[in-house]
Structure 1
Amino acid sequence: MKCLKCEKDNDDTSEYCVACEAPLLAQPTTIDTSPPISESDSSLADTSMAGSDFSEKKTFWRKIVGFRSKTRWMVLASLVCGLIIIAVIVLKSNLYQSAGQNTVAVAKMYQEADGFLKGKNYGKAQQVLNDLIQRYPDSSEAAQAKAILTQIDTVVRQEEEAKAQEAAIKKAKQSAALSMMRSRYDEAKNVTWYHASSTTQYRNDTDFYIYIGKYNTGNIELKFRIQFCNDNWINIKRYVIKADEQTFAIIPNSSDIKREALGGIYVESMDVLLDADKCKVVKAVAASNKTILRVEGDKYYKDRVISAEEKNAIQNILLAYEALGGTN
């Protein structure tokens, strides 16, 4: 189809000229036999052509405006897509950073729980592991923590059973030890004295022992007595006790030593409260294979070996002391 404006040939299907973009109007195929156009008709034709030019310009600017509008939307869409991409990148970065921080936190908690386990502080370990599971349930450490908690429950139960069994055995020993005590009530002092049945009842026998005093008020105490008999005065100033490879020295106050002569036998005895230091001594003696007791005076000293019977008596007294409510 030929353009009426620029007379260029165009495809019959086109609505606008490819050269000048003017609208293409259908052209008649018959030969024009109309009479010549008069001046008035020419004026009308010019007016028609002017209207056609205005319409073409309007269509052209509409295309320009439409193109610019499309361009704006494309730019806006590009900006939105760019912002979305940036947001996704930032979100991923934050997620990776958060994941890294979580990994460090989980590892720290796991290490803390492991430290408590090595110290056998099972309560603290359980607390940390439960916190780890609650805060990071999807982590691999949470699954491990659950398995460890199961193991802890088993260990704690076994230890509790072992402790209960040990306590039952100890209680039986305490009861047995208490049954082997002899007791004497001192009405003047409102106290009951408990001695091992093998301990001497006489002042003229050599002995090394401890005994219990339980008052009516409920107070309970342990006392320590070293009774030494000789055919002459030693005038004891110090006791040296060698229990296996351990050596102890006890230096009593002069008021702690009692001396008496009983039918040609000279008795020197120390009878004092069993404090913490002396308790270490008697426990070492009771647990030893061999203990030598040396009593030292101004000029002389004497040695003797503590017997197995004396060691057993010390152990029984300690058990009976706990059975009566004492602690050592």
Structure 2
Amino acid sequence: MMKKATLILYSCIFIFFSCGVPQEEYDKLKKENESLKQEIADCQLTPVQILEQANEYNGNLEYEKSKSRLIALIEKYPKSTEARKAKRLLKKVEKEIEETKKALERDKLTENNNENFKKAIGKMKKKYDVSNSVTWYSDKSSTLSGTKNFLHTYIGKKEKRKPWMGISVNHFSKEEWLFIKQIVITADGKTYTIEEENPGEFKASETEGGMREWFDRVLKEKDFEMIKQVAESKSAKLQLIGKTTTKERTISLAEKKAIKNVLNAFEALGGSLK
């Protein structure tokens, strides 16, 4: 079925371009073909697989995608055990979607009343975690992909409480494990060391054909000097010191700009960097 849909597309491409059909018509056909291939792929999924997709989207706070998968499961396999589970999860997901809308509306009212706030928060992407009543802010350029190498900061904010900041470092390799023991950040000659405060803070797992190692922690007052220094630095390096190997890379201009944007948003939300 998949090969047939692809063959149809290629045949139409040849006919369209041979006859001089406008690009708009071709694009429309291509979109319809992609939709057909997706429908065929969905038809091959079992109830268990669809539920797994919905749970994964929900875990990533992608509630609309989770809702779409759950509805598809309930409609296609209404009498299955997974459909019963989907109905229970759907209620929670719909509640999360509604709470997210309310949280964004509250933020929008605040933004409209404060230009500086609006400017700072405008550079952030936001997700609301209804189970913990937390709005998460991160720079729009930041990635959470486990297959990317990054250093970024983010903000957590509960209603009527001051915000907090966190730091996240991710390392991905298809070559070897580091088994990170220590992280060293150097910014314009100043050196800062990050070590485990509790066992297991440096995490590792196999993912997507490679090895992922990462670290995530709420920033303490003593850490703000390090973050501000990195954001303002001309030259900054990140060292990941492993069991037998050390990896070093330059902290990019994009990463530093993103950190600076998060620091500005943190202050706009009522946080203190002192």
SS of aligned partner of 1:255: coil
Q: CA deviation at 1:320?
A: 0.5
In structure 2, stretches of 5+ residues that fail to align are: 1-113
Note if 1:247 corresponds to 2:191.
yes
> How many residues get paired?
158
Matched residue, 1:193: 136
**CA deviation string 1:257-305 (max 9, x = no partner):** 1212112221111111111222111111111111111100110110111
| From 272, 276, 295, the counterpart of 2:217 | 272
What's the RMSD between the two structures over aligned residues? 1.5
Note if 1:283 corresponds to 2:237.
no
**CA deviation string 1:15-64 (max 9, x = no partner):** xxxxxxxxxxxxxxxxxxxxxxxxxxxxxxxxxxxxxxxxxxxxxxxxxx
Structure 2 CA distance for partners of 1:308 and 1:173, relative to 1, 3 Å = farther
Could you tell me how far apart the structure 2 residues matched to 1:306 and 1:243 are? 9
Q: Normalized against structure 1, the TM-score is what?
A: 0.46
Matched residue, 1:325: 270
- Which runs of at least 4 in structure 1 moved beyond 4 Å after TM superposition? 171-174
Instruction: Report which of the two structures shows the higher radius of gyration computed on alpha carbons.
Output: 1
Note if 1:213 corresponds to 2:169.
no
Matched residue, 1:109: none
Could you tell me how far apart the structure 1 residues matched to 2:251 and 2:115 are? 27
Letter in 2 for 1:226: V
Q: Normalized against structure 2, the TM-score is what?
A: 0.55
SS of aligned partner of 2:205: strand
Please give the residue correspondences for 1:23-172 in structure 2 after superposition, counting only pairs within 5 Å: none
Higher relative contact order (CA 8 A, sep 6+): 2
Could you tell me how far apart the structure 1 residues matched to 2:130 and 2:179 are? 33
Structure 2 CA distance for partners of 1:290 and 1:174, relative to 1, 3 Å = farther
In structure 1, stretches of 5+ residues that fail to align are: 1-170
Paired residues of 1:175 and 1:320 also in contact (CA < 8 A): no
Paired residues of 1:226 and 1:269 also in contact (CA < 8 A): yes
**CA deviation string 1:59-116 (max 9, x = no partner):** xxxxxxxxxxxxxxxxxxxxxxxxxxxxxxxxxxxxxxxxxxxxxxxxxxxxxxxxxx
Matched residue, 2:261: 316
Q: CA deviation at 1:255?
A: 2.0
Matched residue, 2:119: 176
SS of aligned partner of 2:119: helix
Q: CA deviation at 1:174?
A: 4.7
**CA deviation string 1:202-242 (max 9, x = no partner):** 22211101100001342411111111112221000011111
Could you tell me how far apart the structure 1 residues matched to 2:115 and 2:249 are? 33
Please give the residue correspondences for 1:221-236 in structure 2 after superposition, counting only pairs within 5 Å: 221-231=164-174, 232-236=176-180
Letter in 1 for 2:183: Y
